[in-house]
């Protein structure tokens, strides 16, 4: 399966009566976007209002609480459309051509139903810890309708859909624009791949998906990952939004939809594909809370690794604590099938760095890449402008009573910053 | 005003002699000797070696107590800002002496210390107690070891925060510190996998710990006479979370009275835990802390009594050290109150 991505570099965003992308500037009419969001029944039922704002790199702006970050894309050639099974129909994606509005993102924010999170600072020390401080962000702040507290699952769904719809609407504006740069990605069939790369080690990406319930879910072609058996996905499918995030706790290591679209493991494996390894496919597996599910999912992951005759597997986790058990189960069982692993995780070693970083361990997990210690404390300066609300800073995962100080500074753990310790290996942050 | 350093070296680096002179007793000399010059030069006047202590490696090994006492007395008299030993590279007795004497100075005189040696040096066993710079396995590594040690030492003398082990050049000592790598994690992971698959060397960024297992106590013979306490890491708290237990990385635990409480309701209790879907726990906290079931058992005589207090914290992202600390404290309260067994629910 071959996919060509056409990158349209966005250098500015401006509100305007028109909606278009011209010479690298996105002109957008918030009312037009809002109308498009409200075409969805769930959004109509559960969102009282949306407000729109623009946050640019270097500005003294704080966005919080952040639900999702999504990159606008549009399928211009080939089967299916972006976000299959959620926005577009379920047709298989990952081939043909897709345009990407690079350098920007849609950020959904506002009151959410559980332990709100996270924070994106566009400047200051906090900006160093989130990749989203480097993007032009079109922020969509949602306000819940009356009675949403008794319908939290519905409200979360509505805000999730709203974000994806906004990204789809914006992405569509790039359909006729000529990309600034293109790149091609190809996955071969099993037999074809072996014939083309007979001497290269066969590697798959074992992609663990957060699936623990409200605010901890992930969707694949619209299917709740909790309900899915471990299965195979072609890497280019992720580039068209086959996997979307329904997950916003905790901020530092949850994978936003932006992370799924720009999965760095996929990108780096493709970069090595045909050179130092044969990138066979992705294996997606979940992180359910029931022991039987954990056993089944990890058994199936190891089974598929063996069936595919892999030499190696790169495993990325999402989340911490409970899913550390899934991570170690996967790693151990894959290794015992004779397939070598490297795992990517993050750490909760306490504010002093002295505690054990993972809730589970095994000597077979001897090749680990870490996204850093999420418990490390940071002090964020006051920002001139807040998009969203600071009301929840004290209770978000990583905050504490008194995190938001009277002088407007925030003392909290890195955990509160969206994407800070990402376990796909998106960032350069690490620990030793 | 520059910082004062006392430097400890062996007979070889003091140019007294090799193995045949390893028996020499400790000597105190003014200023720097041998490799001390490299350290002094690197500090460019910000710090200086005021005294050098030379001791034979065999002397230290065979008369450890005496050697320690002598060195400590000299260091105490000098009141330096820092004590540096070695670097010892792969010399085993020297490395042992460096780490041991550095540890003693640190513990007994409270002076910051630093040493350096090859990772396989037996002295490196003390790397979790004493800061040890990782060096090459021979004195040919002095060109790199001396500036690395000098730089780190100066930071310590200035009271600056030190970075991650990979950044500063010291042996990982069990304290995790964040830093920014040159490349993103995904690239590092792919490179690590390619190395592992071709049997080339690689270094894991996180060595797996070995966990201690807790042996369970003896089973209770007669439950009908036992006082059972309920505890949880599922974050169940009175409505409003009066003691502000954090939704993640809890800094404390709560102790709450349930005398007279038969059932937890949505009006009276909630969960503070940010790591699981809170909807069902908030609707009925008995789902995480089964007070209702234990009360029934109490009424039916299946258990003697449900303890009047429950202990709760949030397990989400909470460090093992903190969790251990909370339980050690409230376990004493449970013991004092005559509780026989605990049901600990987790999520």
Cβ contacts (< 8 Å) between A394 and chain B: which residues? 244
Take residue B104 and report the two structure tokens written for it: 């003693």
The number of angstroms, rounded, from the C-alpha of A238 to the middle of its chain's C-alpha atoms is 11
Contact: B176, A114; criterion CB under 8 Å: no
Are B121 and B251 contained in the same domain? no
Which of these is catalytic: A19, A248, A281, A331?
A248
Same domain, B239 and B304: yes
Specify the range with the lowest mean pLDDT, choosing from A97-106, A242-251, B228-237. A242-251
Report if residue B211 sits inside a domain.
no
Which among A215, A350, A431 is the nearest to B164, CB-wise? A431
Residue with tokens 């992180």: A287
Here the tokens at position B264 are: 């937890």
Is residue B72 assigned to a domain? Answer: yes
Q: Which residues contact A72 (CB under 8 A, 6 or more apart)?
A: A100, A101, A104, A105, A106, A167, A168, A170, A171, A173, A174
Burial of B30 (0-12, 13-18, 19+ CB in 10 A): exposed
Contact A314 B190 (CB under 8 A): yes
The domain total for chain B is: 2
B-interface mutation test, from A369, A378, A429, most B Cβ less than 10 A away:
A369
Q: Do A268 and B316 touch (CB under 8 A)?
A: no
Position B212 in a domain: no
Residue B172's pLDDT band, with cuts at 50, 70 and 90, is: very high
Q: Closest CB to A367: pick one of B202, B315, B320.
A: B202
**What pLDDT shows up at residue B310?**
97
User: Nearest-5° angle of CA A413, CA A414, CA A418?
Assistant: 130
Chain B residue with CA closest to A290: the answer is: B347
| pLDDT at B170 (0 to 100) | 97
> Is B72 in contact with B105 (CB distance < 8 Å)?
yes
Q: What CATH number is given to the structural domain containing B136?
A: 3.40.50.2300
Contact call for A373 and B177, based on CB within 8 A: yes
The Cα-based distances of B175 to A352, B127, B128, B238 in angstroms read: 7, 11, 8, 36
Residue located via tokens 């429950």: B310
State the burial class of residue B20 (Cβ atoms within 10 Å of its Cβ: 0-12, 13-18, 19+).
exposed
Residues A217-238 pLDDT 10s: 999 999 999 999 999 999 999 9
Q: Are residues B105 and B231 in the same domain?
A: no
Determine the average pLDDT of the residues in A83-112: 96
Q: In the predicted model, is pLDDT for residue A115 greater than 80?
A: no
Contact assessment for residue A244 and residue A218, using Cβ atoms and an 8 Å cutoff: yes
Q: Say yes or no: B227 and B96 in one domain.
A: no
Task: Please say if the pLDDT value at position B211 is more than 70.
Answer: no
How much is the pLDDT for A396?
75
Q: Please tell me the distance from the alpha carbon of residue B117 to that of residue A274, in angstroms, as a whole number.
A: 42
Chain A environment of B166 (Cβ under 8 Å): 430, 432
Q: How far apart are CA B253 and CA B249, in angstroms?
A: 11
Please state the domain extents for chain A. 2-416
Q: What is the C-alpha to C-alpha distance for residues A213 and B1, in angstroms, rounded to an integer?
A: 61
Q: Name the nearest CA neighbour of A317 among A302, A329, A305, A300.
A: A329
Asked if residue A394 lies in contact with residue A401, where contact means CB atoms within 8 angstroms, the answer is yes
Of B148, B168, B188, which residue constitutes the final position of a domain? B168
Say yes or no to pLDDT of B275 above 90. Answer: no
The average pLDDT across B138-157 equals 96
What are the structure tokens assigned to A14, written together? 């401006």
Look at residue A289 and tell me whether its pLDDT is greater than 80: yes
Nearest chain A Cα distance for residue B267, angstroms: 14
Distance CA A423, CA A316 (A): 6
User: Is B202 within a domain?
Assistant: no
* Residue A353 contacts residue B161 (beta carbons within 8 Å): no
Residue of chain A with shortest Cα separation from B165: A432
The 10s digit of each residue's pLDDT in B88-105 is: 999 999 999 999 999 999
Are B7 and B156 within one domain? yes
Closest CA to A100 of A180, A14, A18: A180
Same domain, B114 and B261: no
- The mean pLDDT of B227-255, rounded to a whole number, is 95
For residue A257, what pLDDT is reported? 98
Residue range B60-83, pLDDT digits in tens: 999 999 999 999 999 999 999 999
Residue A117: list chain B partners with CB under 8 A: 274
- Looking at the fold, whether B28 and B143 belong to one and the same domain comes out as yes
Name the helix (H) or strand (E) containing A67.
strand A66-70
Which pLDDT score, from 0 to 100, does residue A113 have? 66
- Report which of A297, A195, A355, A197 is spatially closest to residue B318, judged by C-alpha positions: A355
Partner-chain residue, chosen from B251, B277, B320, that has the shortest CB–CB distance to A355: B320
Residue B196 lies in a domain: no
What domain range is B68 assigned to? 3-168
When pLDDT is averaged across residues A192-204 and rounded to a whole number, the result is: 97
Q: Which residue has the higher pLDDT, B154 or A408?
A: B154
String of b and e for B121-159 (b: at least 16 CB within 10 Å)? Answer: bebbebbebbbbbbbbeebebbeebbebbbebbbbbbee
- Residue at B182 is within a domain: no
Residue A202, phi-psi category: left (phi > 0), alpha (psi -120 to 50), beta (remainder): beta
Tell me what pLDDT residue A389 has: 85
Residue B189 lies in a domain: no
CA distances from A290 to A294, B18, B37, B290 (A): 6, 65, 63, 19
A248 is catalytic: yes
Selection from B32, B38, B41, B42 nearest residue B5 by Cα: B32
Which residue matches tokens 């600071």? A390
Whether the per-residue pLDDT at A54 is higher than 70: the answer is yes
In terms of CA atoms, which chain A residue is nearest residue B182?
A: A428
- CA A361 – CA A355 distance, rounded (Å): 13
B230, part of any domain: yes
Higher pLDDT, A136 or B209: A136
DSSP per-residue string spanning A183-197: EEEE---HHHHHHH-
Instruction: From B105, B138, B168, give the residue that closes a domain.
Output: B168
Poorest-confidence range of B50-54, B90-94, B96-100, B179-183?
B90-94
Query: Of B125, B144, B168, which closes a domain?
Result: B168
> Residue B212 — very low, low, confident or very high, per pLDDT cuts 50/70/90?
low
List the structure tokens of A378: 């940071």
Instruction: Identify the pLDDT of residue A116.
Output: 64
- What's the farthest any 2 CA atoms get from each other in chain A? 65
User: CA A119 to CA B184: how far, in whole Å?
Assistant: 21
Co-location of B287 and B150 in the same domain: no
Sorting pLDDT into bands at 50, 70 and 90, what band is A336? very high
Query: Nearest C-alpha of chain B: how many angstroms from A22?
Result: 32
Give the mean pLDDT of A62-87.
97
CA-CA distance, A64 to A412, in Å (whole number)?
14
pLDDT at A117: 77
Chain B residues close to A363, C-beta within 8 Å: 208
């Amino acid at each position: 399966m071959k996919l060509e991505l056409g990158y349209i570099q966005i250098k500015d965003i401006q509100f305007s009566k028109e909606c278009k992308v011209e010479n690298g500037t996105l002109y957008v009419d918030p009312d037009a976007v809002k109308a498009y969001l409200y075409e969805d029944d769930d959004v109509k039922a559960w969102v009282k209002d949306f407000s729109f704002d623009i946050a640019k790199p270097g500005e003294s702006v704080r966005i919080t609480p952040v639900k999702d970050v999504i990159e606008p894309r549009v399928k211009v050639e080939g089967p299916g459309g972006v976000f299959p099974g959620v926005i577009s129909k379920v047709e298989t994606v990952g081939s043909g051509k897709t345009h990407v509005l690079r350098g920007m993102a849609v950020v959904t924010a506002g009151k959410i139903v559980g332990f709100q999170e996270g924070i994106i600072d566009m400047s200051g020390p906090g900006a160093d810890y989130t990749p989203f401080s480097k993007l032009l962000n079109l922020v969509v702040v949602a306000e819940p309708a009356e009675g949403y507290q008794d319908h939290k699952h519905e409200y979360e769904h509505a805000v999730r859909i709203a974000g994806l719809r906004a990204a789809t609407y914006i992405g569509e504006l790039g359909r006729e624009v000529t990309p600034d740069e293109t790149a091609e990605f190809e996955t071969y069939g099993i037999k074809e791949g072996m014939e083309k790369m007979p001497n290269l080690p066969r590697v798959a990406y074992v992609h663990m998906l957060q699936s623990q319930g409200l605010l901890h879910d992930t969707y694949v072609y619209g299917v709740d990952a909790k309900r899915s058996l471990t299965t195979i996905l072609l890497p280019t499918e992720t580039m068209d939004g086959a996997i979307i995030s329904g997950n916003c706790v905790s901020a530092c290591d949850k994978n936003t939809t932006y992370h799924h679209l720009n999965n760095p493991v996929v990108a780096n494996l493709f970069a090595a594909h045909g050179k130092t390894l044969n990138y066979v496919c992705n294996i997606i597996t979940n992180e359910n809370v029931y022991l039987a599910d954990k056993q089944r999912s990890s058994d199936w992951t190891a089974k598929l690794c063996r069936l595919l005759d892999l030499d190696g597997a790169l495993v990325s986790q999402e989340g911490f604590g409970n899913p550390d058990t899934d991570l170690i189960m996967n790693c151990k069982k894959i290794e015992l099938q004779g397939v070598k692993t490297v795992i990517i995780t993050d750490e909760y070693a306490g504010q002093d760095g002295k505690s054990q970083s993972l809730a589970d361990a095994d000597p077979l997990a001897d090749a680990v890449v870490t996204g850093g210690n999420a418990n490390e404390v940071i002090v964020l300066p006051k920002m001139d402008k807040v998009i969203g609300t600071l009301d929840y800073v004290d209770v978000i995962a990583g905050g504490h009573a008194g995190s938001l100080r009277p002088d407007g500074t925030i003392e909290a753990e890195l955990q509160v910053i969206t994407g800070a310790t990402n376990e796909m290996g998106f960032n350069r942050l690490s620990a030793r | 005003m520059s910082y004062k350093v006392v430097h400890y070296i062996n007979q070889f680096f003091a140019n007294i002699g090799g193995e045949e002179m390893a028996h020499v007793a400790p000597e105190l000399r003014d200023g720097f000797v041998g490799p001390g010059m490299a350290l002094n030069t690197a500090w460019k006047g910000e710090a200086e070696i005021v005294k050098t202590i030379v001791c034979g490696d065999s002397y230290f090994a065979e008369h450890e107590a005496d050697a320690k006492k002598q060195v400590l007395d000299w260091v105490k008299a000098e009141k330096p800002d820092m004590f540096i030993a070695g670097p010892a590279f792969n010399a085993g007795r020297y490395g042992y002496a460096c780490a041991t004497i550095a540890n003693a100075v640190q513990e007994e005189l409270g002076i910051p210390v630093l040493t350096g040696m090859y990772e396989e040096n037996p002295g490196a066993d003390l790397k979790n107690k004493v800061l040890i710079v990782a060096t090459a396995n021979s004195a040919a590594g002095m060109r790199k070891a001396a500036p690395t040690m000098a730089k780190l030492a100066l930071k310590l003398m200035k009271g600056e925060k030190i970075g991650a082990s990979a950044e500063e050049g010291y042996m990982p000592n069990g304290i995790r510190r964040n830093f920014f790598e040159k490349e993103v994690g995904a690239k590092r992971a792919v490179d690590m996998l390619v190395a592992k698959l071709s049997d080339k060397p690689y270094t894991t960024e996180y060595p797996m710990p070995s966990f201690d297992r807790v042996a369970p106590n003896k089973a209770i013979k007669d439950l009908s006479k036992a006082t059972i306490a309920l505890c949880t890491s599922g974050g169940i708290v009175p409505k409003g979370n009066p003691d502000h237990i954090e939704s993640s990385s809890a800094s404390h635990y709560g102790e709450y009275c349930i005398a007279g409480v038969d059932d937890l309701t949505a009006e009276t209790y909630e969960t503070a835990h940010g790591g699981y879907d809170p909807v069902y726990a908030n609707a009925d906290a008995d789902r995480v802390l089964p007070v209702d079931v234990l009360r029934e058992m109490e009424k039916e005589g299946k258990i003697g009594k449900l303890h009047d207090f429950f202990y709760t914290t949030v397990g989400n992202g909470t460090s093992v050290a903190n969790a251990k600390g909370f339980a050690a404290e409230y376990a004493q309260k449970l013991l004092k109150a005559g509780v026989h067994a605990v049901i600990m629910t987790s999520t």
